[in-house]
């Protein structure tokens, strides 16, 4: 799991908290995702897995999730205002506005 999440550099580091800072925000997000992946679920629901991260870290996380999806896991994630690179990683998309569905379908069919 450490290899899949690219956490080798911090695998022996205490996670810390508000008082003790030790790992980066990206490492913390990947650790939380890893905690959910340990049971090898068929479905993974993620609420804003890239929020608060810089664009390169957000892209790394989304690419890692895409690999999990390509291996057969269903992943559903909410993402607000993704970068173009992050947006392009998704296979299917649901666009909502005020609770109404504006679009649902493959990303490549979004006109």
**Domain layout of the chain by residue ranges:** 8-109
Type and span of the H or E element at 103: strand 100-106
| pLDDT tens track for 45-81 | 999 998 888 888 889 889 989 999 999 999 999 998 8
- Would you call 62 helix, strand, or coil by DSSP? helix
Q: Which of 6-10, 21-25, 91-95 comes out lowest in average pLDDT?
A: 21-25
Assign domain 8-109 to its CATH superfamily. Answer: P-loop containing nucleotide triphosphate hydrolases (3.40.50.300)
With a threshold of 0.85, does the pTM exceed it? no
Residue 21: is its pLDDT beyond 90? no
Structure tokens at 8: 């080798």
């Amino acid at each position: 799991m450490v290899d899949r999440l690219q956490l080798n550099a911090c695998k022996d580091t205490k996670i810390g908290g508000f008082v003790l800072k030790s790992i980066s925000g990206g490492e913390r997000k990947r650790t939380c995702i890893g905690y959910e992946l340990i049971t090898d679920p068929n479905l993974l629901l993620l609420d804003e897995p890239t929020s608060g991260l810089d664009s390169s870290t957000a892209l790394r996380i989304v690419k890692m999730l895409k690999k999990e999806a390509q291996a057969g896991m269903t992943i559903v994630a909410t993402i607000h205002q993704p970068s173009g690179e992050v947006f392009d990683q998704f296979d299917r998309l649901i666009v909502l506005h005020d609770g109404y569905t504006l679009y649902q379908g493959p990303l490549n069919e979004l006109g």
